[in-house]
Structure 1
Amino acid sequence: MPFVSIEGIDGSGKTLQAEFLAASLRARNLKVLRTKEPDGGWIGLGVRSILTAERPSPLSPQEEMLLISAARFNHVRGVIRPALVAGNWVVTDRFVDSTFAFQVYQTGVSERAFEEITAEVVGNTMPNFTFILDIDADTAVRRRNARGGKPGDDPAEATRNFARIRNGYLEMARRAPRRCYIIDATATPSVVADRIMSIIVGQPAVDK
């Protein structure tokens, strides 16, 4: 069964689009597992707690990637693969491309380390479709601020960080054009959802 990942910088609407897509597939009488990262498996719940907790010193980018990769290994082995084998579509909010965008492009983890760890963690369990919900950094900051933002964030630094992450996603789309689809996420949520679904149903190799 097909495996779909929804990617994008904060504020791009990933969670909403994952919900819309899962609902649309279920309306076609398809079995769907909707999941997310980093906390899609039981290890990920602990990793999310570590990543969001106050701590005496910041985690290094390498530590963050290793924690997320441990959660992903458990997610793939314990959740995603069994669901696919059971005949479910799988829709995940974030997957490997988030690690590339955040840890490689934003914080500078080596690309070789990312590739080696990802190969070990994921193997051949890669999405059939990855939808990158694309918005510019200024729009992302405005949307995040409208939701409350993060206390103490410097707007200029937040914009620079979002721009780096966005560039990481766009670079991955350039490298994997058969898997990745860039979707203009400045459109209304219903328009974005329609574009995603039209791509999925337009693929002749997909069992609809």
Structure 2
Amino acid sequence: MSARGLFITLEGGEGTGKSTQARLLAAHLRARGRRVVETREPGGSAGAEAVRHVLLSGAAEPLGPRVEALLFAAARADHVAVLIAPALAAGTVVVCDRFMDSTRVYQGVVGHVEPELLRGLERVCVKARPDLTLVLDVPPEVGLGRAAARGKGAVADRFEREGLAYHGAVRDAFLALAAAEPERCAVVDATPAAEAVAVRIAALVDARLALESTGAEAMR
């Protein structure tokens, strides 16, 4: 493996189990002797966490998806600069619950923000791109049911409040994105129990780490 760490992101709609799987994956990697940083978006740094509240509370929703995209980009720039890039430079594996693909899907495909704007924001703000993106996939009705059960009566966030058709479009967009970038993205069926999903994810990540290690050895 090269000196740079590995950047792994978990993506998918609401209730797909990204947070749980990120935690289980980090534990798996640590058990194998890897240094791991767990993080999330929006958030992951002090500045980004402040923006997270604005986004998930719905305070920015009346301003439209373009403004949401700008806020996500601002949070991401701070997150990358403060946490992700330094960790990767130190050879650490970074496991992130959501990253740039969520903006591409929620604000881009579903929110109809112009691709040119999103590409421009990525050029400015995304100085670290994922090496491997795991797209967790469940039917939207399953995901929404899980999200509701997880919330236990709490107020749903900005995106959980959307209807079934919206979440179906989100699912389709994530699957299309994964199909367009198969060298980076792997779709994982997240409908089974969390433990079974974790085994599948661990196998995918272990295979990628072995490939990275082989490539680093070949360059010596």
1:129 shift after superposition = 0.8
1:131 shift after superposition = 0.3
- Corresponding residue of 1:175: 180
- Identify if the C-alpha distance between structure 1 residues 134 and 149 changes in structure 2 by more than 3 Å, giving closer, same or farther: farther
SS of structure 1 residue aligned to 2:48: helix
**What do residues 113-155 of structure 1 show as CA deviations (whole Å, max 9, x unaligned)?**
11121122113x211110000011111222223233746x9x9
Alignment of 1:6-45 (within 5 A): 6-45=10-49
Which residue, 83, 88, 106 being the options, matches 1:84? Answer: 88
Instruction: Look up the equivalent residue of 2:50 and give its one-letter code.
Output: G
Preserved contact between residue 54 and residue 60 of structure 2 (Cα < 8 Å) = no
Which residue, 157, 163, 168 being the options, matches 1:158? Answer: 163
Which residue, 181, 201, 206 being the options, matches 2:206? Answer: 201
Instruction: Look up the equivalent residue of 1:25 and give its one-letter code.
Output: L
**What do residues 93-123 of structure 1 show as CA deviations (whole Å, max 9, x unaligned)?**
0000111111012211112211121122113
SS of structure 1 residue aligned to 2:163: helix
- Corresponding residue of 2:144: 141
Aligned-CA RMSD value: 2.2
Tell me how far apart the structure 2 counterparts of residues 136 and 169 of structure 1 sit (CA, whole Å).
12
Number of corresponding residues:
205
Residue ranges of structure 1 left out of the alignment (5+ in a row): none
Segment drifting more, 189-198 vs 54-63? 54-63
Preserved contact between residue 6 and residue 91 of structure 2 (Cα < 8 Å) = no
TM-score, with structure 2 as normaliser: 0.86
Tell me how far apart the structure 1 counterparts of residues 19 and 190 of structure 2 sit (CA, whole Å).
12
> Percent identity among equivalent residues?
36
2:66 matches 1:62 = yes
TM-score, with structure 1 as normaliser: 0.91
1:53 shift after superposition = 4.0
